[in-house]
Amino acid sequence: MGKAKRLWERRATHVVVQLLLRLYRWFVFGTFLLRHDPRLQRLLRSREPAIFAVWHQDFVYTLGYLSRWNPRRKTYPLASASRDGGLAAAAAEGMGYRRAIRGSSARGGPKALLALTRLLQRDRSASVVIVCDGPRPPARALKPGVLHLAQSSGRPIYLIRTSYSNTKVLERTWARFHIPIPFARGVSLTDGPIHVPADLDRDGIEQLRVELEQRLNTLAERADRLAQV
């Protein structure tokens, strides 16, 4: 295990992963037939900063979709401090995202949140993408960090979901990851902007957290249905 960890920590390994991800994205996304949410496309084509919130279940392909606009948008991903988070960070950076901020609710969360807050305060054009559940079960249970970040930075939150008609579901993973099959039909949906008032207290944050969790679940279910049409 120690040898595998040392291999993973080598920069050359990260470079190889990033190159493979770019080739994979080129092949897979080139075969999908996507119906785009016009509101989301208008946002992504602009330089308006935002906080993008997604579920663990579809984050690989949703981040892949959002990454198509990375050349014109400075977007930073939040990745967990675990070894799996290192893989996710390398994959995200390989798709053109800026250097990942590391931390999660289970490890290094407050430090990562502070780093993100300072980043957004320093760079008014920067956006952030956050996987809102995890890194541990239950799936699709929204953590409050995204709300605190929106409150401190003034950035609006956009909930994002991408769904596909032909998908392999990894049932043994805690989040039930979705892996779309090449040549599947897909759909992208968004809900937002959602602003978090600067004076919202702890009870208000919790009420809004529950509301956003419901809205992101509703968005996911609607996208899943539309992908089958």
Is 36's pLDDT higher than 80?
yes
Which residues 6+ apart lie within 8 Å of 196 measured at CB? 147, 150, 151, 157, 205, 208
DSSP collapsed to 3 states, 76-138:
EEEECCCHHHHHHHHHHHHCCCCCCEECECCCEHHHHHHHHHHHHHHCCCCEEEEECCCCCCC
Which residue type, as a one-letter code, is found at position 59? Answer: F
pLDDT of residue 198: 94
Is 26's pLDDT higher than 90?
no
Q: Which of 42-51, 111-120, 156-165, 220-229 has the lowest mean pLDDT?
A: 111-120
Token output for 145: 């960090």
Query: How far apart are the C-alpha atoms of 162 and 99, rounded to whole Å?
Result: 23
Average pLDDT, the chain: 84
Burial of 26 (0-12, 13-18, 19+ CB in 10 A): exposed
Helix/strand/coil for 51: strand
Q: Answer with the residue of higher pLDDT: 13 or 51.
A: 51
Tens digits of residue pLDDT in 11-20: 566 667 667 7
Average pLDDT of the segment spanning 77-100: 72
Query: φ, ψ for residue 17 (rounded to 5)?
Result: -60, -45
Is 8's pLDDT higher than 50?
no
Average pLDDT of the segment spanning 201-227: 96
Tens digits of residue pLDDT in 128-179: 999 998 777 899 999 999 999 999 999 999 999 999 998 888 888 888 888 8
Token output for 141: 């249970």
Element (H, E) at 193: strand 185-194
Domain definitions of the chain by residue range: 2-227
**In contact, 61 and 162? CB cutoff 8 Å:** yes
Q: Answer with the residue of higher pLDDT: 194 or 108.
A: 194
Is 3's pLDDT higher than 90?
no
Parallel, antiparallel, or unpaired: how do β-strands 157-164 and 51-54 relate?
parallel
Which residue type, as a one-letter code, is found at position 98? Answer: R
Is 193's pLDDT higher than 80?
yes
Cis peptide leading into residue 144 (ω within 30°): no
% the chain with pLDDT above 70: 81
Average pLDDT of the segment spanning 192-204: 96
Which residues 6+ apart lie within 8 Å of 161 measured at CB? 54, 55, 58, 62, 188, 189, 190, 216, 219, 220, 222, 223
Give the closest residue to 135 by CA, choosing from 88, 99, 182, 68.
88
